[in-house]
Amino acid sequence: MNTFTKRTFIFFLAFITIATKIYYWFFIFPNPDEAYYWLWGQHPDLSYHDHPALQALIQNMFTSFFGTSLFILRLPVFLSSICISYILILIIKKLNYNTPYLYLILFFSSPLFYLFTSFAWNDYILITNCFISGYFYINFIHEIWVNEKGTTKNIFLGSLFLGLAIISKYNAIFLGLGIISLLIFTKKLHCVFKDYRLYLSLLIILMVSSPILIWNAKNKFGSFEFNIQQRTIDPFINYEFFKGNYIGFILGSLVMLSPFIWWGIIELFKKKKNNEINSYTIVYIKFSKHIFLVSTITFLFLSIFSNVLYYWNIVGLLFITPLAINFLIKKKKEISSLIFSSILIIAITIHFGGVPLTLIFGGKDEDSTYHYGWHKIKSKVLKHQENNKIPILTSSYRNASLLAFSMNNPKIYSYSSRFDQFNYWTKNISYKTNSKGLILTDDRSLLNNELISLFSEINSIDTITITKYNYNIKCYYLYKGIFK
């Protein structure tokens, strides 16, 4: 394949990534968590049960200025993608790598980073803040490495953005732990521990992330209990070893990052000596390895007894991925990697925006079915709502969030056995001024005791069947009840 043909094919594969991403941003209805986090933004707070608050506050700001729409929901993701691209280009130039556009194409085409720079989840702002933070920290550490004092601006900005990353999502802490590991195990960097600026930078991180501590102190440490105890410690204490999601974590990580990029990561660790001339590259490799090892080993261990999802390790993969991409480019395997990623990206887009592929191939992915049918559900709910006078309740956070986004109504709540953010909102709500209420359930989350306890009488009034291309995707059920 000549140079012109190769470049043309690469840009064609890049076009697939860009086109599918734009299609997702503009045309695919939010997934349950996108709508859930949007709804958090309509109830601004210092933090939330599942995650910290930065993404929700960003959603609040954008919807306050521009209203509610798919475009506005995902506009912050688009802006963050531009910021990520800029930081990546700065890093690639400092690493003395050529063709930075190719690194960007391979990075954003990786199914992992494609998804999490498309979804309006907490992860896009986590990635952005971690990259910015890491960029400044690496600059500071490199200055120390070459026997300079280190620029105060770099360590303080690194700490500021690490604090912002922590209030984006808790797993940002692995960036900090990886840096501490690098400082401890690299003798040449021990002088940093004698530098007062290190301790001032820790104070900056603590101050920026303090809303998490304040919220938890006011709410019986509910978020810490959910994320640390329920998800990890409880299974460990109960000796539930090898009952976790370790197979799913390993396979998910392998496929979603791309087996080609994992090949590059493995080769990076196989190199016994670092022959890089550029001192920045030496520091960057050490930095990325420590972040990767601290995060990956931790989650691999936790996956033995907990339900660890592959994307929880995204911080560990951020900085090492450009190095793996460089290996692929040197081995001239960038097109093979892009072909694999493009096939998976197209399948993902069809799965979310066309018809769930699991229905076609007999698999199971119930979350994907929630993308479909909300215009129909909204019209049915409005029909039975009697001029917006009847409160709407649902049986799960998914239904409540998706219907709330569809109707642009932040006062739709969920009642279920699952303790989530809705429990904080509904604990002081009284329906005594209303005689009737609407209830929306689905074939995954049926009527439950929490809902039934609110009513003296409940009657079924409608069944909403969602179909597409002759596939039965999902059934929803509407009830009308009389409050006690």
Among the listed residues 313, 325, 327, 345, the one whose alpha carbon sits nearest the alpha carbon of residue 130: 313
What value does the mean pLDDT of the chain take?
A: 94
Is 90 exceeded by the pLDDT of residue 240? no
Q: Write down the pLDDT at residue 1.
A: 65
pLDDT of residue 247: 96
| Average pLDDT estimate for 189-198 | 97
**pLDDT over 90 (residue 417):** yes
In this prediction, residues 199-209 reach a mean pLDDT of 98
Give the model's pLDDT for residue 367: 86
Q: Is the pLDDT of residue 326 over 90?
A: yes
**Which of 247-261, 275-289, 389-403 bottoms out in mean pLDDT, i.e. has the lowest?**
275-289
The per-residue pLDDT for 426 is 95
269 neighbors 263 (Cβ within 8 angstroms): no
> Any alpha helices (H) in 408-454, and if so which ranges?
421-426, 449-452
3-state DSSP helix/strand/coil % of the chain, to nearest 5: 65, 10, 25
Write out the two tokens for 157. Answer: 């900005």
Q: Is the pTM of this model over 0.85?
A: yes
Assess contact for 402 and 431: CB atoms under 8 A.
Answer: no
Confidence grade of residue 275 (pLDDT, cut at 50, 70, 90): low
Higher pLDDT: 362 or 188? It is: 188
pLDDT for 276 beyond 70 = no
Residue found under tokens 């911080």: 315
Helix (H) or strand (E) holding 78: helix 70-94
Strand partners, 460: 479
Q: Positive or negative, the Cα torsion across 72, 347, 311, 259?
A: negative
CA angle in degrees (0–180, nearest 5) for 16-82-19: 15
Please give the backbone phi and psi of residue 477, each rounded to the nearest 5 degrees, phi first.
-130, 135
Q: Three-state SS across 244-295?
A: CCHHHHHHHHHHHHCHHHHHHHHHHHHCCCCCCCCHHHHHHHHHHHHHHHHH
pLDDT of 364 over the 90 cut? no
pLDDT (tens digit per residue) in 396-406:
999 999 999 99
Angle, helices 321-330 vs 70-94, to 10°: value is: 60
Q: What is the pLDDT at residue 274?
A: 62
Q: Are 305 and 244 contacting, i.e. CB atoms less than 8 angstroms apart?
A: yes
Among the ranges given (35-49, 107-121, 423-437), the one the predictor scored with the smallest mean pLDDT: 423-437
pLDDT single digits (tens) 446-474 = 999 999 999 999 999 999 999 999 899 99
Q: pLDDT tens-digit profile of 58-97?
A: 999 999 999 999 999 999 999 999 999 999 999 999 999 9
pLDDT score of 253: 98
Neighbours of 100 (CB within 10 A): 17
pLDDT at 315: 98
Q: Compute and round to an integer the Cα radius of gyration of the chain.
A: 24
Where along the chain do its domains lie?
A: 3-353, 368-483
| Residue-wise pLDDT tens digits, 141-187 | 999 999 889 999 999 999 999 999 999 999 999 999 999 999 999 99
pLDDT beyond 80 at 233: no
Give the DSSP letter string of 186-221: -GGGGGGGG-HHHHHHHHHHHHHTHHHHHHHHHTTT
Give pLDDT tens digits for 2-59: 776 888 999 999 999 999 999 999 999 999 999 999 999 999 999 999 999 999 999 9
Sole residue written with tokens 């956070």: 397
